[in-house]
Structure 1
Amino acid sequence: MPAEEKLPHYSDDLSKPFRLDTSTTYVDGGSGDRYWRDYLQLQCFPIDRFAPDWPAKPDAFSGGLAAYAVALQELAATVLELVAEGLGLDKSFFLGELIGGGTLMNVNWYPPCPDPSLTMGLVPHCDRPLLTVLSQGDVSGLQAKHRGRWIDVHPVPNAFVINLGHLMEIVTNGLLHSVEHRAVTNSSAARLSVVSIIMPEMDSRIEPLPALVSEEKPPKFRPFLFREFNEAYTAAAANREDVLRLFMIHPSDTIGSQN
């Protein structure tokens, strides 16, 4: 799209249902650091709620987005049913208000960076909800933290990456861990990724599942509303340990290591 047609959508107001922006909101300590990323952020599901906010141009945008959003929601529900069954729960356990808050999509564009040693594409962070669904294209750039070191998550053709988020770690009482990840830059190729974040209702009550709590395994996290968590996540600049510690019953405990 021509720059003059994109400019009216440019905004750093997180409350807007459709916007263009650059860098990232989550910067430690307000340092002013900028990151090598342009992105389109929009609410994409439920379609009847958010489609009126989508732009009319280009012509194929709304139809393609609607079809993708529906298929994406079905995929996420299937994955959550499998996770629930694996935990010994009813397969529909996660399919209520924990994914009923709408789906937020970030379409990330990482242009070639003249000097990748100077900046990153996206800061290390964990996603907020139970899970996110990532289409990372065919250019490497995603890294995940594994036992204290960063490893490349290479693209697999025709496959999605599923990231477990903070809420999955909390509701499973630490049985499953949120995945810390980041995006790095390169000097030779542009990278496009599409991240779909399956959000809970803001007033959803979040706490460890009673079925996963016992005398031997007491709850590690206190109950809270997702609204409170959302505010804390932004204030902590999405730092994994800082976010989880705010909701731990014993904040001095060690945060679960990532497998």
Structure 2
Amino acid sequence: MDLKDQNFGAWPCHFRFNKYNFAQVSAGSNGLQIHTDAVFLTLLQEDECVGGLEILVPGSDSFVEVDPLPGLLLVNVGDIAQAWSNGLLHNVKHRVRCKDAIPRFSIALFLLAPKDDKVEAPTALVNSDRPRMYQTFFYNDYRKMRFSTGLYAGEILSQLLM
């Protein structure tokens, strides 16, 4: 398959409005655990008045806060994009921290997985210099593995390496 023939418009999406009801007792704690998104791509509109989204600096244990700038739309690569791109794209570990005892809102659009639910790198992304990295798998099976194991930070991908 040539990449220009890939029809991302046929992939299902999920739209979600999130509200975090932070209380004074939760200040400084995680509002959402460390995780990667079990999707292809996430478009996120953060609450520009509250903040709290933090991303893990690759190769470290340090998180950096994402400044919630007005009008900023974040694009987050998920686990499915990492597998589909044969490792050319990388998922992002992140969390949400409660900064203050005020409600926090975000709006997210998730691009899920191919319509047939089978996830595999297109042949255009696989060659002798870059052999196939991940086994072919089904999106629903991947999500079930995440939930059944409680591994939400991309660890399941390592179990699918060739």
Alignment TM class, shorter chain as reference: 0.7 to 0.9
Aligned twin of 1:121: 31
Query: What pairs up with 1:73-222 in 2 under 5 angstroms?
Result: 89-90=3-4, 93-97=6-10, 99-100=11-12, 102-117=13-28, 119-138=29-48, 139-147=50-58, 148=60, 149-200=62-113, 203-222=116-135
- 1:156 deviates by 1.5
Structure 2: segments with no counterpart, 5+ residues: none
**Distance in 2 of aligned mates of 1:246 and 1:126:** 15
**Residues 129 and 197 of structure 1 are in contact (CA less than 8 Å); yes or no, is this contact kept in structure 2?**
yes
- TM-score, normalised to structure 1, is 0.55
**Distance in 1 of aligned mates of 2:114 and 2:131:** 26
**Distance in 2 of aligned mates of 1:202 and 1:235:** 23
**Distance in 2 of aligned mates of 1:108 and 1:219:** 39
**Residues 204 and 226 of structure 1 are in contact (CA less than 8 Å); yes or no, is this contact kept in structure 2?**
yes
**Distance in 2 of aligned mates of 1:112 and 1:89:** 47
Aligned twin of 1:235: 148
Runs of 4+ in 1 over 4 A off after TM superposition: none
**Residues 164 and 178 of structure 1 are in contact (CA less than 8 Å); yes or no, is this contact kept in structure 2?**
yes
Question: Aligned with 1:240: secondary structure?
Answer: coil
Q: Which amino acid aligns with 1:142?
A: L
Change (3 A) 1:238 1:203: farther
Change (3 A) 1:94 1:229: farther
Q: Output one character per residue of 1:16-42: Cα deviation in whole Å (capped at 9) or x when no partner.
A: xxxxxxxxxxxxxxxxxxxxxxxxxxx
**Residues 134 and 161 of structure 1 are in contact (CA less than 8 Å); yes or no, is this contact kept in structure 2?**
yes
Structure 1: segments with no counterpart, 5+ residues: 1-87, 250-259
Is 1:248 equivalent to 2:130 in the alignment? no
Change (3 A) 1:247 1:113: farther
**Distance in 2 of aligned mates of 1:214 and 1:113:** 54
Change (3 A) 1:202 1:228: farther
Q: Which amino acid aligns with 1:131?
A: L
Change (3 A) 1:203 1:195: same
Query: Percent of counterpart pairs with the same letter?
Result: 22
Structure holding more strand per residue: 2
Q: Cα RMSD between the aligned structures?
A: 2.1
Q: Which amino acid aligns with 1:128?
A: A
**Distance in 2 of aligned mates of 1:216 and 1:150:** 33
Looking at CA atoms only, which structure, 1 or 2, has the larger radius of gyration?
A: 1
Q: Which has the higher contact order (CA 8 A, sep 6+)?
A: 2
